[in-house]
Chains A and B, each alone.
Chain A
């Protein structure tokens, strides 16, 4: 086990040393404006984490609302009908009317103008949800708050860089969301050329693409910060394999962020050049190649789906261990699986292009894609094996972890028909894909995110939330989610293409079921919102360790003091040694240590 040696020449640092009579990081310093200024310029990873959390939830709300609008438009297909109308002079005339189009542009029967609104809605939805919600969600919000604390550090390695990433994130989001004010973007979140370079709305597209470009920097810098922090700032006594799995997951994520994001940077930059200077590299009319864009785009955007899911895996590992009060089964396997997924994720991007590329590449990419399923499967098995002979508290985080397993297994398994060549030719760009990625993004990552928020809520805000209503919300979300998206698998196999503002009649029933599901989802999230607000206003005060966790964040107070710990912690046990130590700040009688098994120590 590698431990960091305490350097002998420790300076007599007034800021190092101990922090005995420090208040919570949330204690306001000064008046209203002073507090605002303090939050805007803070380098405290906790405050930055909270700000990310608020921003991400707000953008999730925006993205969610546009999803609700998308679902509403799909309630009915758009039809043009000839209708006999009575004119003023008493004669009859036929008039063409449009029905089933919720979003219209002005009067009349111009279907295209209405479709255009729909196209802007799903692009907005996709862009917000990927670039602004799910990528920063767990790493930037929960990760920023808890990575240093779980490592026993006072802050991330480069606090000011962290502040900079936050502001870059804000600017990028303002750019991207601001493009709505100019009338929106209708390229789809994938920005495929030559459509994206020719569609109208010059500035809108530039703003959106520019926004995504800027957001990329935020992602890179956060990742870079996390890698260095993990390498250099682990508390004394904490070797690599004493790190909580959440940290492992964030570490693997950060590697992908640092290695993949620059490529989307250059891709979007080239796209901007293409649009502004007409350089022609993606323009077939000028000898360029639109498929090159697709390769560039997916070289980033496939690894990025693991940027989305790995932190979710980390959260679930943490939650299952703590709420089942059980040492995780196969700690090292879980850690290495995260790294393995990160490594393989770079080799499979071509599986998004089976219908657009040559046969040899398609075959290679298909084979490589299946590789990624192996470490993922291992993770699932380990989580479930952990439940065996454990002691499971049923509460919102645990319930959500259970739902996560449920939804992720479905989401992951439906990746297999997409990865296998013969079936993807049918399923590509159909609602089957839409259902697949909502199961893994919304059903897994967002669920893990919300689960994590509940789990760490007492630590972050020092108050408990209402457990009963938390579980009600969770269940509504779970049910609503399945109603919304399981139907979409059938839509997809039956031939419904994605990004369709309208459809042929035979799909209507399934679409309506899906839309009803989205209302249940909305209801579920509103319950969560209510529970959170209620807790902030009148929740009971949280103890330092409400769940009996062993990782370092439960050692400090709820909410943590400004420098996280009163003394620099010295790590003496592993993060999941529930069968060896009593959790800190807890009544030992509540968390007894099991009798040694007959065969002695089990390690």
Chain B
């Protein structure tokens, strides 16, 4: 993503005298921006636009959910009974914590608390990992092996409704695309962590963490919608 700061030649040009200041102080905006602030604004605007597109992408999934719920209400009611609210709740909590830590990491960058910045990023990463682990090990795997699969793969012997496979189609599509976003988000955050270790972020330059944080919040918000739709509404 170009929304990440451009390290490029302007970070430490070989032709310039050696500069002993930390990286975040030496950062200069890309040459077509008039200032660092302008670049930061542009990056934020870009990210917000990107988040809009993400929300619209999920909007498609939500529409499909609503539509099929309307067509086959019993199948969907049955379907959500198969989900264990406790795992869903746990995952919600995990993601909420991670949202807090990612916000904290931005604050740390602004306050130049380099150590806490890294720790917070790490906790966020761990939370992301936990989320995925719970999802896969305690949700996807048992369901899949019981035959609760999408579409024509559906093979659950005790189904009570002819259209339960559609519920699972929607379930796997929604949570699968969301899980993919979690993975991408973790990738971005990991890059931020590596940069943080090099001292890339500080009070005047925390664009990268802020942008990555925005993305992570989105991943969270989507889950906040998915959780009640899938687990709570019967």
Contacts and interface: CB of A to CB of B under 8 A. Distances in A.
Interface of A: 4, 6-7, 9-11, 13, 15-16, 148, 153-155, 157-162, 164, 220, 224-225, 227-228, 231-233, 258-259, 261-263, 265-267, 269-270, 273-274, 277-281, 283, 286-289, 292, 296
Interface of B: 1-3, 6, 10, 28-38, 41-43, 45-46, 49-50, 52-54, 56-61, 63-64, 67-68, 71-72, 75, 150-153, 162-163, 165-166, 169-170, 172-173, 177
Contact of A258 (B43, B52, B63, B177): B52
A231 B45 contact: yes
Contacts of A9: 35
B72 A10 contact: no
Interface of A is mostly: helix
13 contacts: A7-B34, A11-B35, A16-B31, A158-B46, A159-B32, A262-B60, A267-B60, A269-B177, A279-B165, A286-B163, A287-B71, A288-B68, A292-B64
Contacts of B169: 273, 279-281
A262 B54 contact: yes
Contacts of B152: 277-280, 286
Contacts of A11: 28-29, 35-36
B2 A263 contact: no
Contacts of A158: 2-3, 42-43, 46
B35 A286 contact: no
Interface of B is mostly: helix
A153 B54 contact: no
Contacts of A159: 2, 30, 32
A15 B31 contact: yes
B56 A7 contact: no
Given A261-B53, A287-B75, 7 more contacts: A4-B34, A231-B45, A233-B42, A262-B57, A281-B151, A281-B169, A289-B71
A295 B61 CA distance: 13
Contacts of B68: 281, 287-288
Contacts of B37: 7
Nearest to B1: A161
B166 A258 contact: no
| Of listed A148, A159, A288, residue having the most chain B CB within 10 A | A288
Contacts of B56: 259, 262-263
**Across the A-B interface, the 4 shortest Cβ-Cβ residue pairs:** A266-B60, A15-B31, A279-B151, A158-B2
A266 B31 contact: no
A220 B51 CA distance: 12
Given A10-B34, A281-B169, A259 B52 contact: yes
A162 B2 CA distance: 9
| Of listed B31, B32, B42, residue having the most chain A CB within 10 A | B32
Contacts of A267: 60
Nearest to B28: A11
A565 to B, nearest CB: 11
